[in-house]
Copies of this chain bind each other. A is one copy, B any other.
Amino acid sequence: MAESTPARRLRMGMVGGGEGAFIGEVHRKAAALDGQIEFVAGALAGSPEKARRSGRALGLPDDRSYPDWQAMLSGELARPENERIDFVSIVTPNHLHFEVAKAFVQAGIHVVCEKPMVHTAAQAAELARLVQEKGVVFAVTYNYSAYPLIRQARQMVLGGELGEIRRVSAEYHQGWLATAQDESNKQADWRTDPARSGMGGAIGDIGSHAEQLISCVTGLKLESLSADLSTFVPGRRLDDDASVLLRFVGGARGVLTCSQIEIGRENDLRLSVFGTKGSLSWQQENPNVLVVDLLDRPRQIYTRGGPSLGEEATAATRLPAGHPEAFIEAFANVYLGAAAHIRAKMNGQSESPLPYPTVQDGLQGVQFIEKVIESSRSSERWTAVNETAPEHSV
């Protein structure tokens, strides 16, 4: 079961996520699910009026529905410690992440931040240093890596059950940007605007999830990559399709593809890992199943909650087998991980009792996006990737 005994509910503030936002609502549901976190304050939108309106719609008291994040930061710091928010969730468009995150971290407030974490590797490195210095918890919502069976996959791969890893494939198929609907759609609008989304289009929005999934399941470090970015929809300013050949330190190879113009594909993220002793495959749209193939044995289908699962998967599971868990539950696992670490720090412990993706995952993701774009503009065959060695967790 995914819960520990709560001393009290943690208090969450939120920046972004007001009217019309998609991901903010997901964060609120994920935080609420397990009854450990209370949503108490917000600076929910870019204008004071909209922020106030959004706060009322969500039941925030007016005095904690702030007109902007600066007001929230100072307002909360002015409160007595036993009322103040314990952490802030940052769910604004990407270009605001850095500034907001930096300010809250500097104030010693824990952070849960959407991905991609920031726009540039330099910003990411600065933030990582600051997080280290301040000793705060900083989770980045690479939610897909928090699915129970991805944690099972990770435990099996790192435990050597597949042998030495030879080949990795991560695919992320979407079709919702197949036509030039960008202006009529709030989500599409900012996600395809370089100023707000960052330099990567599909590669930043979804490719970075695929990269993080490879990294967290296999622990492999990228040595070099060769990327082909495309923009198929006329007038679009960012890539909407990417194919990347990967070479890892130690000789493993891989392919990462992501596309947002594949009509009919919804949110079809897939991971396959092939080793010298076996392989595994997983699909996000059918997340309660993990396909495991060991040499010369019939295929095995592991199910969430079913037989033969390890501790990591079990710790991330709420329901018995056959009672499916899905996207929000995985997302909530990131919150449970961050919350557990925050509680641990409150109790004077430095280690997190549960895994979650950290600022190091965020940093690595931003580096990856930069290198993919660099490669796509280069005449060189391979673009070297000198990953800092993050001690990330799932």
Please determine whether A300 and B300 come into contact, CB atoms closer than 8 angstroms: yes
Chain B residues with CB under 8 Å of A322's CB are 174, 265-268, 284-285
- Residues of B within 8 Å of A276, CB to CB, are 178
Instruction: Please determine whether B175 and A279 come into contact, CB atoms closer than 8 angstroms.
Output: yes
Taking a contact as CB atoms closer than 8 A, the residue among B302, B329, B381 that contacts A379 in the complex is: B381
* A301 with B298, Cβ < 8 A, contacts A263-B279, A274-B261 known: yes
Q: A266 vs B291: C-alpha distance in the bound complex, in angstroms? A: 14
Flag whether A299 is at the interface (Cβ < 8 A).
Answer: yes
- 8 Å CB interface, A293-320 against B: 293-303, 305-308, 318-320
Q: Verify if A120 is at the interface (C-beta below 8 Å from B).
A: no
Task: Report if A52 contacts B (CB, 8 A).
Answer: no
* CB–CB B305/A266 < 8 A: yes
In the bound assembly, the distance between CA atoms of A294 and B322 in angstroms comes to: 16
The residue from B29, B259, B284 contacting A167, defined by CB atoms under 8 A apart: B259
* Residues on the B chain within 8 Å of A308, using CB: 297-298
- Answer whether residue A364 sits at the interface, using C-beta atoms and an 8 A cutoff: no
Check A98 for interface membership: any CB of B closer than 8 A: no
Number of A interface residues at 8 Å Cβ cutoff, please give it.
91
Query: Which 7 residue pairs across A and B have the least CB separation, nearest first?
Result: A264-B293, A266-B322, A267-B322, A326-B326, A324-B326, A299-B301, A266-B321
Contact of B241 with A262 in the complex, beta carbons under 8 Å: no
B-contact bits for A119-153, CB 8 A (1 contact / 0 none):
00000000000000000000000000000000000
Cα of A379 to Cα of B279 in the assembled complex, Å = 31
Q: Is A32 an interface residue (CB 8 A)?
A: yes
Tell me the complex Cα distance, A32–B263, Å.
35
Contact surface of A with B, Cβ cutoff 8 Å: 1, 5-6, 8-9, 22, 25-26, 28-29, 32-35, 39, 57-59, 166-167, 169, 174-176, 178-179, 226, 228, 230, 232, 241, 243, 245, 247, 253, 255, 257, 259, 261-268, 272, 274-279, 284-288, 291-303, 305-308, 318-329, 378-381
Q: Taking the nearest CB of chain B, how far is it from the CB of A64, in angstroms? A: 15
Q: Which among A232, A278, A294, A299 has the highest number of chain B CB atoms within 10 Å?
A: A299
In the complex, the count of this chain's copies comes to 4
- A263-B278 CB under 8 A given contacts A33-B32, A228-B226: yes
Chain B nearest CB from A332 CB (Å) reads 9
**Closest partner residue, chain B, to A379 (CB atom):** B381
Q: Would you give 9 A-B contacts (Cβ < 8 Å), ordered by A?
A: A228-B247, A243-B245, A264-B293, A266-B320, A266-B323, A267-B320, A268-B322, A298-B302, A325-B326
Q: Is the CB of A303 within 8 A of B266?
A: yes
Inter-chain CA distance A33–B327, complex, in Å, is 13
Q: How far is the CA of A42 from the CA of B263 in the complex (A)?
A: 49
Q: How far is the CB of A260 from chain B (nearest CB, A)?
A: 11
Specify the chain B residue showing the minimal Cβ separation from A57. Answer: B5
A278 to B263, CA, bound (A): 5
Q: Is the CB of B298 within 8 A of A298?
A: no
Chain B's nearest CB lies how many Å from the CB of A149? 12
Bound-state Cα–Cα, A320 to B206, Å = 15
Would A327 and B321 be within 8 Å (CB), given that A275-B263, A295-B179 are in contact? no
* B26–A319 touching, CB < 8 Å: yes
Q: A37 — nearest CB in chain B belongs to which residue?
A: B32
Name the B residues within 8 Å of A57 (CB-CB).
Answer: 5
